[in-house]
Structure formats: structure tokens, C-alpha cells
Structure 1
């Protein structure tokens, strides 16, 4: 088949143009270090690279979330640790206040110290994070969780009951905050003691001990008990009766009281001592059913410590107040410890997720590099080979152009 000069010229120009285009593409790959610059370079590889890049972006966001979650949990853990320390100091002060050798002035000084610790605890309950959000307000981060009641006793919770959570991996979110109610107005269901207390209108010198639990599995421990004393107007004899909610017909009724007595209530008991007055009452109830606002507890004990104890009745009232406050503060302390344990567990989970996520990020980055990066040594060798081929083609074309009839005749 005869090939015209124009056909030959066009074929060679097209061939050299293709080689130049290949060289340009190879140069871009070498200069960028990337094997895939456009989807046409490797359609399947490009699709895989897109998927890996999306995965890498998700892992990077999860990593950011993990850092945020860990920071929040560490702040809460630190705050709860300080709360525990303050509560321990309060427990010590309550024990000190029970020293019978203290004068009224001494107890007033103890009350002032407890008031200072109470204010410190109130500040901790309203702790904010680095962004100014209250860490114990639930989902209402911009609202202070606690405000003091105008009555001077207790606080009002203004947050909500939601828990902030952060997604730390695919399909796994973790709580990064607890509500103020769960910390400062609740007790641990497993680490709290029943609360005994004396009636506010008692007139005698009767005192009630802390509750002693002898059978933790007894169903009666979930009941609320009320012990009422009666003093006969004719002979002065004293009796007591016990009633409960829900009712229990097996409880003692009109039992003679002659002095210090242990009274069994389900799987628990309390000791009544002193001389109760007619109509005086004492109660025992599960911690969960009592008012567990730690601030109200502290306000009440501060007020009790400031009262003069010049009479036996006043001394008995102080003894009962100290016993009740001691149990409540101890229950709150245990509740805070339980919450701190949970927070510590969350911290460990986030840190464990961080470790495994870092491995995934490294592997994903390696997969992307293996898929899209080029072997520079091989690429440069191929580039030089292609360049040599182009140069050879150009020289051959130059020589063949001279092969014409006129050149032959001229020679």
C-alpha cells in the first residue's frame, strides 16, 4: 500500500504528540508524587481512593471528638475529686461538732467553717468549662444549674435532665457530662444508708442513733417507718408504737419504754435513748426517699450548730441533727465517689478508642499512599525511557523527511 507524504507526516506528528502528552502526564505525576491525578488515570483506583479519603476524614473527625470528650471527662473527674475532698472536710467538722466539751461559741465557729465549705461546694456545683458552659446543667449549658433558695435553706436546680454525648467512633457515643441533680441531689442506690431523724416538734430529750442494717436483703428495708412516743398523763409511763408505709401489722404497738432501746425495723434497727416527750416522733426511711439536697443538709446543720444548747432538750436536738446530717453527708460522699468511678470508666473507654483509632488512621493513610503514590525510581526510569523514545522518533522523522526523489536526483 502506498503511503502519501502527508499521511506519513500526520502519523508521525500524531505519534510524537502522544508521546509528548505522555511525558507531560508523567512529569506531573513525578512532580506531585501522585500516581492518580484524574479519574481517567485509574478509574478503579480513583474510586477506591475516594472511599479511603472519606474514611480518613471521618476518622479525623472522630479523633477530634475523642479529644473533646476526654477533655470534658477529665474536667468533670477533677471537679468531682475536689467535691469529694470538700465533703470529707465537712464530715470531719460534723464529727468535731459532736464533741461534748465544745461551748456554744466553739460550735458557732464550726458552723462558720461548714458554711465556708458549703459555699465552696456550691461553687463547684456551678463549675464551667473552657467555653463558659456549666458542666452540671445537662443540655442547658448556658444556665447555672444551682441557685440558693430565698428561704436560706437548700437550692433550686435550673438545668435539665439530659446528658451531653459525643460520638467517638462509628456507632458509639459516650456521655461527657452528668446532671447536677444526679451528683448533688441524689444518692447511690447501692452505697447509701437509711436515714434516721427526729421530729422537728419534739419536746423531750430523746435521741435517735444512725441506722444499723443487719439484713440488707430484707424487703422491709424499703419501707418508711415512724416511731411515736406517748407519755401517760396518769402514771407517767412511756410507750412507743411503730407504723410504716406501706402498712405492716406486725410492727410493735404500745410497747413500754424504760430507757435506751433498740427497735427493729425490717432488716435494720435504731437505738432510741433519753427521755422522749409525749407525741415525740422519730423516723427511718431509705436514703432515696429522703430530701437529698446536700446544700439543704448543710444549711440545716449550720443553723442547728448556731443554736444555744443550754437545756437538755436543745442538746438532744443538736445530737439528732448531727446524726442525721452525718448520714446524709456520707451518702452524698458515696454518691460522688460512684459518679467519679463511672466518669473514670468513660475516660478509659475514650483513651482505648483513641489508641485503636490511631491504628486505623495510620493504616488508612498507608492504604491511600499505596494506592495513589508513585514509585519515584520506577517513574523516573520510565520517564527517561519515554523521553529517549521521543527523541529517537524525532531524529528518525527528520532523516526520513529527506528521502524524496528530488533529494536523490540532487545527489
Structure 2
């Protein structure tokens, strides 16, 4: 077979180009530290590697969400802790005010202290997060949720929205608590109603008033309890009427402490009523923390001679019960934030373990064995140098060298 000079040049050039390409690939592997750069390196491994990288990217996003969720729930937990401290101060002050030896000036000073406590807890309820949004406003993050009125009542401007953030593919955690749930919905210690005392000469008080049968209960109605001695025989008679004056039940004789049942309700009254005593029950399932403090302020701020000491004592007992209910409620809300923080911590640990597994899998497929890669690089370099020398020798060949 006859080999032309041109064919020899072409073969040498092709061989040299191939070796130079191999060397460039080795340089790319060494500079990146990776052995799989594109699908052509290993199609199956490249697909698996893409899955590992997607999972690691998700973990990174979830970790950023975890930081945000942890900050918000830590803020909420701290807010409720501070609110508990203030409510304990309210309770201490209120108990202190129940002292018959105190003057009007003394009570006025305690009333001012309670007003400061109200403002303090209002500041907590209007807390902002790191972005400037209101924590307890529901979805209304740009509107101040609670407004103090001149009469010390508080108006809520937020809603019941709960903003959540995904901290894993299947786990979401709340970033806030609505102000309605946080500060306005403590459980009513009496039950489902609140007592309104029209005439109370005996000092009786509603101890328990609950709905036991929703099917027979008439929603929204007020009920009036009248205690009389119609027969003038020393036996009390109790009649219960609704808003329209319709008699619902009559108990004759009424025995102090007995349970009064009607229209799917059960009511227990403490104390021994006197003829002429009258009270009403108004539906109210929840107790507002702010209203409780306002009631305490109003009770403490009364001046002059108390004309109805029995009712004054009853009011004191109800307000103290509401303060305790508010404390329990705030503690429960704080506990919910604590549970969220535990969930966040657990999920953070899960992501750390999963990230380690994903990194190990990715490393096995992608990370370069530098010892082997350097050896291959040196071999490719030697091959290229040999090809270059061969090409240079061929370029120098000429028949004139043999004449």
C-alpha cells in the first residue's frame, strides 16, 4: 500500500487533535473537582445526580424558611411570656385593692397602675416582626390590630388569618397567631354565659351556666331569673323567662345550690337568694383579656361609699376568675408557640440528616478522584507531546535530505 505524505500529515494532525481534546477534558475535570460534568460523561449517573442536587436545593430553601418561622414563633412565645408577667402584676394589684382600709386616693393610685398595665399588654398585642408587619393582626399585617379607646376598652381591627410557611414538603408551620384568638378568646370560667345582676341583696353569684343540649337551646336569647316569695310562706320561688317574657320554667320551692335545667341549659347559683333578687344570663363563651383588665380598672377606681357591698364582692370574684382565665389562656397560646418551635427544631434536625445523606450520594457520583485524574492527565499530556513531536518530525521530512 502506498502512503502519501498528505495522508501521514492528516493522520498525525487528527491524532494530535484528539489527544489535545482529551487533555482539555482532563483539565476541566481537575479545575472543577468533578468527574461528571455533562450527561455524556455518564447519562445514568447524571440523572441521579440531578435528583440529588434538586433535593439539596429544596433543603436549602426549607432551611431559610425554618429561620424565618423560628424567628416569628420565638417572638410570639416571648410576647406571651411578657403578657403573663403583666397579667400577674394585674392580679397582684387587683387583690391588693380588695382591702377595706384603703382610701380613695390609694385605690386611684392602683387604678393608674392597672391602666399602665393595660397599655403595656396593648404594646405586646401590637408587636411587629423583623419585616415591620404586625404579628397579631392576622392577614392585616400593615394595620395596627388593637386600638385603645378613651373608656379603656380595646377595639380589634385585624382578622383571623393564619399565615403559614412550608418547612418541608409536607409540613407547614404558622408564622403568626390572630389577635382574636390570642387576646380575645379566653374560656369563660362560668361556661357559656355571663351574669348580669339587676338586683342582688343577698350576694348570690352565677357559678356555672352551660349549654348541655344544643338541639334544645335557643341561640342568642337572654334569660331572666326572678326570686320571689309569692305565698309569703318563707319558701323561695324561681321563675325563668326569655327575652319576650315567656316563662320557661318555675321552681317552687327553690333550694339554694340546686341545678336549674331548661332549654338545653344547666345553671348553678352560689349563695342563698333573697326575695326580690333578679339576675340575667347573657350568652358569652369567651373572655377578652383587655376587657378583663378594663373591668379591674373600673372596679378599683370606684370611689366613695359602696352602696351594695354584696354585689361589689360578687363583681370582685368574677373579675378575679376572669384574670385567672386570661392567665391560663395566655399560657396555652405560649405553649402553642413552643410546640411550633419544637416542630421547627425537629424538622431542622431531619433536614440536617437528610442533607448529609444527599451529600454523600452526590459525592460518590460527582466528586473527582484527584489521584486517578492527575495520572490520566499526565498520560494525556505525554500522548499529546508524543503526537506533537511526531508531527514536527513529519514536517521536516524531505527527499532532499537523502540526495
Distance 1:133-1:5 versus aligned 2 partners, 3 A rule: same
Asked whether the 8 Å contact 2:196–2:282 carries over to 1, the reply is no
SS in 2 for 1:243: strand
* Equivalent residue, structure 1, for 2:177: 178
Task: Give the CA deviation at 1:79.
Answer: 0.5
Asked whether the 8 Å contact 1:229–1:238 carries over to 2, the reply is no
Distance 1:298-1:159 versus aligned 2 partners, 3 A rule: same
* Equivalent residue, structure 2, for 1:70: 70
Q: Normalized against structure 1, the TM-score is what?
A: 0.82
Task: Give the CA deviation at 1:139.
Answer: 0.9
Distance, in Å, in 1 between the alignment partners of 2:326 and 2:11 is 91
- Which one of 291, 298, 302 corresponds to residue 293 of structure 2? 298
String of CA shifts for 1:38-66, please: whole Å, max 9, x gaps: 44333443333333322222211110001
- Which one of 343, 350, 353 corresponds to residue 356 of structure 1? 350
Task: Give the CA deviation at 1:312.
Answer: 4.2
Distance, in Å, in 1 between the alignment partners of 2:332 and 2:32 is 56
Distance 1:210-1:119 versus aligned 2 partners, 3 A rule: farther
- Which one of 332, 347, 365 corresponds to residue 326 of structure 2? 332
* Equivalent residue, structure 2, for 1:264: 259
Count of equivalent residues: 393
Distance 1:64-1:237 versus aligned 2 partners, 3 A rule: same
* Matching of residues 53-92 of structure 1 within 5 Å: 53-92=53-92
- Which one of 208, 226, 229 corresponds to residue 228 of structure 1? 226
Distance, in Å, in 2 between the alignment partners of 1:370 and 1:27 is 20
String of CA shifts for 1:152-194, please: whole Å, max 9, x gaps: 15222111111010111112211121111112111248xx443
* Equivalent residue, structure 2, for 1:158: 157
Identify unmatched segments of 5+ residues in structure 1: none
* Equivalent residue, structure 2, for 1:376: 370
Distance 1:291-1:34 versus aligned 2 partners, 3 A rule: closer
Asked whether the 8 Å contact 1:66–1:168 carries over to 2, the reply is yes
SS in 2 for 1:141: coil
* Equivalent residue, structure 2, for 1:208: 204
Asked whether the 8 Å contact 1:147–1:156 carries over to 2, the reply is yes
Asked whether the 8 Å contact 2:94–2:300 carries over to 1, the reply is no
Asked whether the 8 Å contact 2:241–2:248 carries over to 1, the reply is no
Distance 1:245-1:392 versus aligned 2 partners, 3 A rule: farther
Q: Normalized against structure 2, the TM-score is what?
A: 0.84
RMSD: 3.5
SS in 2 for 1:269: strand
String of CA shifts for 1:100-124, please: whole Å, max 9, x gaps: 3334333333322222212211111
Distance, in Å, in 2 between the alignment partners of 1:162 and 1:198 is 32
* Equivalent residue, structure 2, for 1:194: 191
String of CA shifts for 1:74-99, please: whole Å, max 9, x gaps: 10011011111222222222322333
Distance, in Å, in 2 between the alignment partners of 1:140 and 1:332 is 24
Distance, in Å, in 2 between the alignment partners of 1:185 and 1:83 is 13
Identify unmatched segments of 5+ residues in structure 2: none
* Equivalent residue, structure 1, for 2:279: 282
